[in-house]
Amino acid sequence: MVPMSDMLEQIQALGDQLRWGARIDGQIGTNSEILFAGMGGSGIAGNYAAAIAGPFGTRVTVHKGYGPVPLWAVRQRPLVIAASYSGNTEETLDFALNAHESGLPVASITTGGKLGGLSADNAWPTVAVPAGMQPRAAAGYMIGATLQILESAYAVDDQRLALAEAADLADEALGEGSEEWAQASEIAERLTGRIPIVYGGGPLSGVVAQRWKTQINENAKVPAWYSLLPELNHNEITGWETLPELTREAVAVVSLRDRSDHDRIGARLAHTAALTEDAVPWVGEVTSKGVSLLARLISLTAVGDLVSLMLAERSGVDPVPVATIEKLKKLLVEDHQ
CATH of domain 7-158: 3.40.50.10490
pLDDT of residue 1: 45
CB 62 within 8 A of CB 150: no
Catalytic residue among 234, 245, 334, 336: 234
Phi and psi angles of residue 326, each rounded to the nearest 5 degrees, phi first: -65, -40
Task: Look at residue 96 in the predicted model and tell me its pLDDT.
Answer: 98
Q: Are 286 and 300 in contact (CB under 8 A)?
A: yes
In this prediction, residue 28 carries a pLDDT of 84
Phi and psi at residue 178, in whole multiples of 5°?
A: -70, 165
pTM: 0.96
Catalytic residue (one of 165, 180, 218, 313): 218
pLDDT number for residue 4: 59
The CATH number of domain 176-315 is 2.40.70.10: no
Write the pLDDT tens digit of every residue in 7-27: 999 999 999 999 999 999 887
* Cα gap 115→188, rounded to integer Å: 37
Residue 234 annotated to the active site? yes
Domain boundaries, the chain: 7-158, 176-315
**Known catalytic residue at 100:** no
Which residue numbers in the chain have pLDDT < 70? Answer: 1-5
How many other CB atoms sit within 10 Å of the CB of residue 281? Answer: 18
327 is catalytic: no
CA–CA distance, 36 with 62 (Å, rounded to integer):
5
pLDDT on residue 67: 93
Strands 79-84 and 195-200: unpaired
Backbone angles phi, psi at 94, to 5 degrees: -60, -45
CATH topology identical between 7-158 and 176-315: yes
List the alpha helices (DSSP H) in 153-292: 160-174, 179-191, 203-215, 244-250, 263-276
| Annotated catalytic residue, options 64, 100, 114, 329 | 329
Segment 198-234, tens digit of pLDDT: 999 999 999 999 999 999 999 999 999 999 999 999 9
Alpha-carbon distances, residue 200 vs 18, 180, 236, 330 (angstroms) = 24, 18, 13, 35
